[in-house]
Structure 1
């Protein structure tokens, strides 16, 4: 069933788990993630980036998820990830997204507040939840370019930001990065504790791929309720693709069957999703 962040994150915060948020780029990913989440009785957040929604992407991704969500018994949030353009956010809402993220983290504090408030006012009137970012999570973009250095969230800014914007969830920067890490990160749990102490809304951790499990779980125990995951999914599908190619070569097939092509990719992806659900303590929460 399709729902929004307000229907899944407060419970996660209360009960001490995090809802996995997976970026999806194709229907293959949507089906595998939803089937795996339902098998594990976990709420799930399916996310898309602007890059994947351009052209007919809204119809393929948002249209598909809105159509299939009622067939599942688990809560499903359709979430727009890292959007900086208000007009594009409006388009996402008009195309059935139940939640959006406005990312003004690169802007000055007051400008971030102003823009976020505009998005919140528009989205809430449509029954759509809003996530914003305070501080900045850096790392690598999908094209391999550097996104910029991370800037830790200042706990003293959190209360003012939430009160002035009315956001439903807040992404914070405590030491993670987007993409694949060049060295093992060390999360600033003390800063997270300070933020959680003053935050009236659930907190979000971006850059969940590759972050050591013990650190992830420590962040959950200190207020994180949504964790974004993408790079780990791409890596698992790549491993499945190599396995499929190896199998086809071994069998000397120039016309591999659909199962031979897709089954290894599906299995690797499903195993990763199931592992993340277990690590985030979100299994058997439905």
Structure 2
């Protein structure tokens, strides 16, 4: 069933777990993630990026697929727009059936971030859609492999005012993670997270969950993180599955493997990672 962030993160905050948020593109990703989450009795957040929604009929295809299949599953499913910076694009996503959106004004001056976030919140809340914003900035790697820029830690002193002036539903904070594949092992600033947690009871979000050492990830959950974004680890899993599929096709000496045989190693590799992430975030058996 479709839900918004307020529905799933309230339970996660109360019971001390984090809801996994997976960026997904094609139908086999959506199906594998949802089937695995349902098998694990876990709520799940499916996320889409502008990069994929604007390609061809991506908006119609991906949002149409998720809105059609979600009611068939007996778990809460949030359909979330990830890292959007344009108000008109966010409005289109809401019109296309997204139940949650993220406005990312993290590169902007504080006042402008507040102003724009508040505008998104006012529009979204009237339509029952939840809003995530970002304070501080999580850098790392862009999807094309270019460097996004350095991360800027969230200033705890800014949090209270930001939340009061925007009425945002969830807040992504920067405590040392990065997007993409890490060039060096991160060391998260758990003390900064504790400071922020003391200031607000709004659900907190951790971006850059792929590749972050498990002990540090679980420490963030113990200190208030309720949503963790994951994408790079999924891409790595699919690539490994793709290599296995190619090897099996070559071993079978067949140029025309059926789609189920061709995609099976990719789906299996992806499903294993999704299931493992769900368990590591303590999200299994929560439905």
TM-score w.r.t. length of structure 2: 0.99
- In structure 1, the partner of 2:18 is 18
1:164-219 Cα shifts (integer Å, max 9, x gaps): 00000000000000000001000000000001111131000000000011100000
Aligned equivalent of 1:143: 144
Q: Secondary structure at the match of 2:234?
A: helix
1:7 maps onto 2:7 in alignment: yes
- 1:214 alignment partner, SS class: helix
Residues 57-206 of structure 1 correspond to what in structure 2 (within 5 A)? 57-206=58-207
CA distance in 2, matches of 1:45, 1:229: 10
Cα separation, 2, equivalents of 1:23 and 1:285: 21
- Structure 2 gaps of 5+ residues are none
Q: Distance in 2 between matches of 1:42 and 1:132?
A: 24
Instruction: Compare 124-133 and 253-262 and name the one that shifted more.
Output: 253-262
Whether contact under 8 Å (1:247, 1:260) holds in the other structure is no
Q: Deviations over 1:5-46 (max 9, x none)?
A: 000001101111000000011111000000000000000000
The 8 Å contact of residues 27 and 60 in structure 1, kept in 2 or not, is answered as no
Q: Give, in whole Å, the separation in 1 of the partners of 2:267 and 2:24.
A: 14
How many residue pairs get matched? 286
- Structure 2 distance, partners of 1:59, 1:245, is 31
Q: Distance in 1 between matches of 2:49 and 2:212?
A: 21
The CA deviation at 1:257 is 2.2
Report the Cα distance in structure 2 between the residues aligned to 1:231 and 1:259, rounded to whole angstroms: 24
Q: Which residue of 1 aligns with 2:279?
A: 278
Structural mapping, 1:29-40, within 5 Å: 29-40=29-40
Counterpart contact for 1:170–1:204, Cα < 8 Å:
yes
1:178–1:207 CA contact under 8 A, matched in 2: yes
TM-score, with normalisation over the residues of structure 1?
Answer: 0.99
Structure 1 runs of 4+ off > 3 angstroms? none
- CA positional deviation for 1:145: 1.1
1:62 partner SS: helix
Partner SS, residue 275 of structure 1: helix
Give SS of 1:147's match. Answer: strand
SS at match of 1:8: helix
Q: In 2, are the aligned partners of 1:113 and 1:165 still within 8 Å (CA)? A: yes
State the 1:256 CA deviation. Answer: 1.5
| RMSD after superposition | 0.6
